[in-house]
Structure formats: structure tokens, C-alpha cells
Amino acid sequence: MEWRDQGILLSVRQHGENSVIINVLTSDHGRHAGVVLGGRSHKLKPTLQIGAQLDLVWRARLEDHLGTFKIELIHSRNALVMSDRQALAGLNAVIAMLLTFIPEREVCKPLYIATEHLLDFIDQQELWPQVYLKWELAMLGILGFGLNLSACAVTGENKDLSYISPKSGRAISTKAAGRWADRLLPFPPILKGETSVDSFAVKEALDITGYFFKNHVAKGLGVKRLPASRTRFLDKLE
């Protein structure tokens, strides 16, 4: 078995004396693990930095085997994040979310494209939190829990939308909410398309996406809590 693809490096762990096992999010083969022979060498160590864009050739005797990777660096993001604490926290959050919620070897090219686009903004501190929010919204949709916020789930109208149903992820108007308003989630302005936003507005919206990851996606996968890296990233938003 052999295939070639591009991937984003998610994790590296030691395997024997000189090799490592890497986990990558690939374009056409999903999240995939494999051994890199000699991965602890001085030659390959600089290449194997989290977030790096890699050219990959995977080989194995059988499809369900761990297999080995031959790698070449396309470009590194290490210099961008090591000089910026928020960028580093953001990268760690992205990696942790992917490792937590994306099943291994489940192909999802739209998520790969969205993640690559997100990481292209990692050194743009003002834009990064908003792009990260869009990425989490996209990820929810890809995982089957997309929010439908265009119109009220009860009336079908698109006016006076003030709440989000914690069960369906659909918008609810003030009138339709009635006495049930205290059981609904708030509808953050940034999710309504307001362009004048600050970090508080982004964090408010990320509380909503976090709710659906925790109470819908995580439960289905047997995950008890959201990654700590995501919490640390939110704490660093200013």
C-alpha cells in the first residue's frame, strides 16, 4: 500500500531510539498516523514541528497497518508562533480540537481546507480570533452539529433573533422564546454578522460553539471535557 498527500503535523511522539510516530491531518486521507524512521535525527527534528505543512508518502504492507511516512517540509509555522504567545495558544487549541474530535482515517477534505486557511492567518493577531471562530463553526457543521441561525425555528421569521436553542442549534426570536427564554442560549451579535467586534464578542460566540462541542459532539464520542488548550487560548484573548 502506498499513497502521497499533503498534511498538517498534529503530534510527534518517540518510537524506539531514533524514530517517531507522527499524527497528521491530510487532505485526502483524513487524520493519519505513521512512523518516521530516523525522526529524532538532527536532520529531521527541525522539520517535525507542530503545525508544519508536509509532503507525505505513506507505505504499509496492509491498509490497516500503522505504516511509515517519508516526509518533506513544504513550509514551517514554527517561527510565526514561537514569537507570539496568542498565536502559540491558538495553534495548540487547533491541534487539540482536531486530535479530540476528528476520528482517525476519516476523510474530510473540507476540514483540511478550513484548517489550512485558518493557519494561514496565525500571525495576524487582530484577525486570528475571528477566523478561529469561523473554523469552529465550520467544524461543528462538518461533524453534523451545524448551527442554523438564519431564521427563527418557531416562526420562520428572520427578525428580532435573540436566542439559540441548546438542543437544535437553531435561532429563536424574542417573541417565540416567551417564558422559556431563560432556558435558551444568548445569540451573540458577532454570529448575526456584526462586523464591529472585539475579543469579548469573539469569546462570547466561542462560549456558544464550546457549548455544542461539549454537550453534543463530545458526548457522542465519549469525551468528558473540552481540551484544556482551548480554554487557555480563550483566556489569552484580549
Predicted confidence (pLDDT) per residue in 73-99, tens digit: 999 998 888 888 888 999 999 999 999
For residue 220, the one-letter residue type is G
Q: Looking at the predicted structure, is the pLDDT value of residue 197 above 80? A: no
Mean pLDDT over each residue of the chain, to the nearest integer: 93
* Whether 74 contacts 41, CB under 8 Å: no
Q: Verify that 113 and 70 share a domain, yes or no.
A: no
Among 1-5, 56-60, 151-155, 221-225, the range scoring the smallest mean pLDDT is 221-225
The reported pLDDT for the residue numbered 196 is 66
Write down the pLDDT at residue 238: 66
Helix (H, G, I), strand (E, B) or coil at 57: strand
pLDDT at position 195: 65
Whether 139 and 191 share a structural domain: yes
With CA atoms as reference, report the closest residue to 76 among 91, 86, 90, 62.
91
Share above pLDDT 70 across residues of the chain, in percent, rounded to a whole number: 99
Average pLDDT over residues 178-183: 94
My answer on whether 164 and 198 are in the same domain is yes
Examine the pLDDT at 199 and tell me if it is beyond 90.
no
The per-residue pLDDT for range 107-154, each reduced to its tens digit, is 999 999 999 999 999 888 888 899 999 999 999 999 999 999 999 999
Select from 52, 76, 100 the last residue of a domain: 76
Grid coordinates in use for 22? 507522527
53 and 16 inside one domain: yes
- Select the more confidently predicted residue: 188 or 197: 188
How many domains, in total, are found in the chain? 2
Which residue range forms the structural domain that includes residue 126? Answer: 80-236
Domain end call among 76, 93, 111: 76
Pair (200, 224) in one structural domain? yes
Cβ count near 161 (within 10 Å) = 22
